[in-house]
Structure 1
Amino acid sequence: MMTRAQSDDDQSAASALGLSDDVKLLAPRDPSVRKATAIINGAIITDTDVDQRLALVLASSNGKIPDDERERLRAQVLSNLIDETLEIQEAAANKITIEKSEVAASYARAANQFKKTPAEFSAMIKGMGSSDVSLKRQIEGEMAWRRLLGREVEPFVSVSDEEVNQVIKRMQADKGAPEYHVSEIYLSATPANEQQVAANAQRILEQIRQGASFPAYARQYSEASTAPVGGDLGWVRAERLPDQLANAVKDMTPGQVGGPIPVGGGFSIIALVDKRQVLTTDPRDALVTLKQITISFPANVDKATAQPKVTAFTEDLKTLKGCGNVADFAKKWNAEIVDSDQIKIRDLPPQLQPILIDLRVGEATPPFGGSEGGVHSLVVCGRDDPIDKTVPSFDEVSTQMSDERVNMRARRYLRDIRRDAVIEYR
């Protein structure tokens, strides 16, 4: 529902542009006609550029995107490539260049995250229908933009000592209050395209609920300053969110996605990553050392046939006396053992977290199944409980506040660059 304030804003915008209420289109717009390429201040984006970047997005969503959504996503990829080009051009205009060696080093780090060499990583990307050139250009754009902001924006952002002290004082007063780790996809809308944007937001939400990557969609669709980091807003109090989002997150459970939620000037899709209490120790932050014991069954075995072995395995686990006996226990059951060191309990499946919180060193979880097949049990071999939380330091709070203000100015900066750019679609 549109509020009175929103209605007045819309009327003011129409008046400022000299628009009447009875606008009549003199020629229809064909939504099936999409411009595939663009020239941005002389720099060309080709069909191939769009296809290769789109392939990266599709890969992150396991290709679970219908054809009509793919076309919309293609248009968004083109828009993002235009912004990326503008960012690189603006950096160059300010005598900022990114050396190839810097891009190569960042590319190698990305490859290492997949446990691959740069050459193997390039082959993997090529197999997705993309290329290392496309990903390296994205890396170059992100590095150039960050460096530009560091020179042209960050030095002019200030946070006073009084402001920081007020935040610290508020945090101390809020100890024990709920705090939420939220991610957001924001789509701007006007009265003219509100229904279209809402429908598009609903399609995005459905794709995410079917398994598409929220961070990938945030990077490609979101118009918020958090888009480069997958829409991650970090940990926030509900009171710091718009009322519509605050009311939504309070009723959500970790891992849930909600929306589209009407907010000022558009719609938001939000994901509740986690929740906690301010400055309160969370037992899920304990670090545990685990041994996973797995017994296997023949392919396509039915539950009735497997149940006697599972029951016997369950009873035998109760006799396990610490991690020192795991090897003998596994040998008896012809089981596999996997060691995991320093795992945070909150990073494990939600069903196992409350069990592991209550287990002592040397105890095992009840057997459980998973998508990988077989029956498993986790034995706790070590535990480092979290230390009591304290109020963040003055410098930490100051840095967070500064980052938020830089992100806001960065969004305005890019908006101004777009406004002054010469963009020709082909």
Structure 2
Amino acid sequence: MLRLIAALLIGVTLSVAPAYAATKVTVNGVPISDIEISQRTKLLSLEGGGGSSKAAMDQLINEQLQLQEAKKFNITITEQQVDDAFQQVSRNVKVSTDKLREILLSRGVSVDTMRARLRAALAWQQLSGIVVQSRVKVSDLELDKEASAALNTDTSYDYILKEILFISTTGNAAARTGQANAYRKAFTGCDSAVQLSLNYTDAAVREMGRRHATQLPDALAKELAGLNVGGITKPRVTEQGVSMLAVCAKNAARDTTFIKNKLRSQQGSEAMKAESEKYLQELKAKAKIVYS
């Protein structure tokens, strides 16, 4: 047992003591050690990214360049920001932060390794908002053309909608769907939607207000396009229960606002990504990177 404890203590010492780390590359004079590369390799492997030492080294070099450039703009990432980002990662993978730490440690990855990566990502995100975003231009004229071309007979309507929701718990979706179909068969229009819902347990009517077809999923927009005022869609199982939409008003409207916003977001994201990569390559070209 004493030998086992001693071995564990030696392992911990090696993992935290910089004196035992060998420098593999320097980025503008800042060293990156073999331990950092080994740790990042394990993290990449855990994420399913291949986990090669070259990929890990490249990533660490990029992050060091990003942090150094962020420092020039007086960008500082606090511990609380890193904590919040770590918590968001745990939410994304649907585990607690304690469980995420446990998973990392079980694969030989220091929590500080992930925190370092998150810190660099947050710094680069802020820096991109200052520098990169100003370089990105999205043409409104091109957006208008693409948005207009995207409209079709299913997406050229404006609606006033009500949602009828049959709240369901695990295992009773089929029964609730049957009740929703009975409601749908008896439905005579939006004015009596609430009154009709009183005949059912845990049935709610929600005002959705104005919705343009381009705001809705394609399949739903197509179904609504085939309905007249007073019509109601087929039941759909959702996370909350079994849902139907009632058409309270319907008007032809070739509104490209929502399509344009979506296109602007997509094109802006793609342009930001490309410009961000270009910016990083510019930093790399000017940097003094020395391999040991």
Is residue 2:32 matched to residue 1:45? Answer: yes
Q: Which residue of 2 aligns with 1:396?
A: 262
Structure 1 CA distance, aligned partners of 2:139 and 2:276?
Answer: 20
The 1-side partners of 2:86 and 2:59 are apart by 20
Aligned partner of 1:322 in structure 2 is 175
Determine whether 1:382 maps to 2:217.
Answer: no
Any idea what the Cα deviations from partners look like across 1:321-363, whole Å, max 9, x if unmatched?
A: 82699xxxxxxxxxxxxxxxxxxxxxxxxxxxxxxxxx9789x
Among 109, 124, 133, the residue aligned to 1:145: 124
Aligned identity (percent) is 20
- Counterpart among 81, 86, 90 of residue 102 in structure 1: 81
Structure 1 regions of 5+ residues with no counterpart? 1-34, 177-277, 281-286, 294-319, 326-358, 363-380
Q: Which residue of 2 aligns with 1:60?
A: 47
Q: Is the alpha carbon distance of 1:424 and 1:361 closer, same or farther for their aligned partners in structure 2, counting shifts above 3 Å?
A: closer
* Count of residues paired in the alignment: 200
For 2:285 and 2:133, the matched residues in 1 are separated by: 22
Using structure 1 for the length normalisation, give the TM-score: 0.40
Structure 2 CA distance for partners of 1:414 and 1:116, relative to 1, 3 Å:
same
Report the alpha carbon displacement of residue 418 of structure 1 after superposing the two structures with TM: 0.7
Q: Does the Cα contact within 8 Å between 1:91 and 1:148 map onto a contact in 2?
A: yes
Q: Could you tell me which amino acid in structure 2 is paired with residue 396 of structure 1?
A: K
1:133, distance to aligned residue in structure 2 (A): 0.7
Alignment RMSD (CA, Å): 4.0
Change (3 A) 1:46 1:279: farther
Asked which structure has the greater RCO (Cα within 8 Å, sep 6+), the reply is 2
1:405 corresponds to 2:264: no
Give the TM-score of the pair, scaled to structure 2: 0.56
In structure 2, runs of 5+ residues without a counterpart are 1-21, 157-164, 179-233
TM superposition shift of 1:96? 1.4
Distance 1:321 1:96, change over 3 A: closer
* Aligned partner letter, 1:56: L
| TM-fit CA distance, 1:135 | 0.7
| C-alpha contact 1:51 1:130 (8 A) present in aligned 2 | no
- On the 8 A contact 2:86/2:115 being kept in 1, the answer is yes
Partner of 1:158: 137
Whether the 8 Å contact between 1:322 and 1:361 is mirrored in structure 2 is no
Deviates more, 1:401-410 or 1:142-151: 401-410
Give the distance between the partners of 2:113 and 2:246, measured in 1 at CA.
Answer: 42
1:420 aligned onto 2:278: no
Deviation at 1:145, TM superposition (A): 0.9
- Deviation string 1:231-263 (CA, Å, 9 cap, x unpaired) is xxxxxxxxxxxxxxxxxxxxxxxxxxxxxxxxx
Using the TM superposition, give the Cα deviation of residue 90 of structure 1 relative to its aligned residue in structure 2, in angstroms. 0.9
Where in structure 2 are the equivalents of 1:300-319 lying within 5 Å?
Answer: none
- Map Cα deviations across residues 292-317 of structure 1 (whole Å, 9 max, x no partner): 59xxxxxxxxxxxxxxxxxxxxxxxx
Return the index of the structure with the highest Cα Rg: 2
Q: How do 1:125-204 and structure 2 match up within 5 A?
A: 125-172=104-151, 175=152
Structure 1 letter corresponding to 2:148? K
Partner SS, residue 118 of structure 2: helix
SS of the aligned residue for 2:74 comes to: coil
Task: Flag the 1:324–1:47 CA change in 2: closer, same or farther, 3 A.
Answer: same
Correspondence list, 1:355-366, <5 A: none
* Alignment partner, residue 212 of structure 1: none
Q: 2:271 is paired with a residue of what secondary structure?
A: helix
Give distance in 2, aligned partners of 1:87 and 1:114.
Answer: 26
Indicate conservation of the 8 Å contact 1:86/1:417, yes or no: yes
Q: Distance in 2 between matches of 1:421 and 1:123?
A: 37
Quickly say closer, same or farther: Cα 1:94–1:393, change in 2 above 3 A: same
SS at match of 1:44: strand
The C-alpha deviation readout for 1:95-115, integer Å capped at 9, x for no partner, is: 212111111111122223445
Using the alignment, how far apart are the partners of 1:321 and 1:155 within structure 2? Answer: 52
What secondary structure sits across from 1:37 in the alignment?
Answer: strand
1:63-104 residue CA offsets vs partner (Å, 9 max, x unmatched): 9x7xxxx6xx22111111111111111111222121111111
Equivalent pair of 1:289/1:382 in contact (CA under 8 Å): yes
Residue of structure 1 in register with 2:202 after alignment:
none
